[in-house]
């Protein structure tokens, strides 16, 4: 029993002198690596959350873009309607002008009144066309702005993905170093056990 205690003390002293500095450095590196891994995991969670937020913003902008396209289509349809109405009024106007030249004098006043009404309808139609054109221009500008926002957000998501990939690579390197350190500690433990067994 006393021989085992003495042998153990000798081995422990030898290990402390031979491996003490290395073991301290290994433990110190292990805890530094552990904290680095925790920090990297935290950063990865933050980056993943940001990517998720950007994806949600892109989805929202895509919805708004689709709505803007629908409004533009509706504005185009209204514009075509207004143009058709103007063309019909113009055709009626030309017919009335031809009729004016062939009608009897007692119809002249009625024809002139009708021409004035038709001209007013044309003016109203032109005003509608201009208003619809302005709506269409505004819708097209909105589409352009939303496309620019989507492009910017897509670039931001790409940058974040690159950062995530770089962090994953660094995390893998740290895990490899940690596994090697644990392996070295295990081998040192086995070697010390062998020394103890040999000194029995």
Is it true that domain 2-198 has CATH number 2.60.40.10? no
The domains of the chain are located at 2-198
The H or E element that residue 6 is part of is helix 2-102
Mean pLDDT for the stretch of residues 21-34 = 53
pLDDT digits (tens, 9 = 90+) for 118-157: 999 999 999 999 999 999 899 889 888 888 888 888 888 8
- The mean predicted confidence, pLDDT, of the chain is 77
| 45, two tokens | 């969670």
- Model confidence, pTM: 0.32
Does residue 3 have a pLDDT over 80? no
Q: Which residues contact 170 (CB under 8 A, 6 or more apart)?
A: 40
* pLDDT tens string 99-125: 777 777 777 778 788 889 999 999 999
Look-up of token digits 């009708």: 114
What is the C-alpha to C-alpha distance for residues 79 and 86, in angstroms, rounded to an integer? 10
Gap between the Cα atoms of 115 and 109, Å rounded: 10
């Amino acid at each position: 029993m006393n021989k085992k205690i003495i042998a153990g003390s000798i081995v422990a002293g030898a290990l402390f002198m031979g491996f003490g500095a290395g073991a301290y450095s290994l433990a110190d590196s292990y805890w530094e690596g552990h904290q680095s891994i925790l920090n990297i995991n935290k950063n990865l969670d933050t980056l993943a959350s940001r990517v998720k937020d950007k994806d949600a913003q892109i989805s929202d902008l895509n919805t708004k873009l689709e709505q803007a396209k629908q409004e533009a289509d509706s504005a185009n349809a209204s514009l075509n309607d207004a143009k058709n109405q103007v063309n019909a009024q113009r055709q009626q106007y030309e017919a009335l002008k031809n009729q004016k030249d062939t009608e009897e004098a007692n119809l002249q006043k009625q024809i002139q009144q009708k021409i004035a009404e038709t001209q007013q309808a044309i003016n109203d139609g032109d005003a509608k066309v201009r208003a619809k054109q302005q709506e269409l221009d505004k819708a097209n500008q909105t589409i352009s702005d939303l496309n620019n926002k989507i492009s910017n957000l897509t670039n931001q998501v790409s940058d974040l993905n690159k950062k995530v990939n770089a962090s994953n690579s660094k995390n893998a390197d740290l895990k490899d170093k940690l596994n090697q350190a644990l392996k070295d500690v295990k081998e040192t433990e086995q070697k010390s056990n062998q020394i103890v067994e040999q000194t029995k």
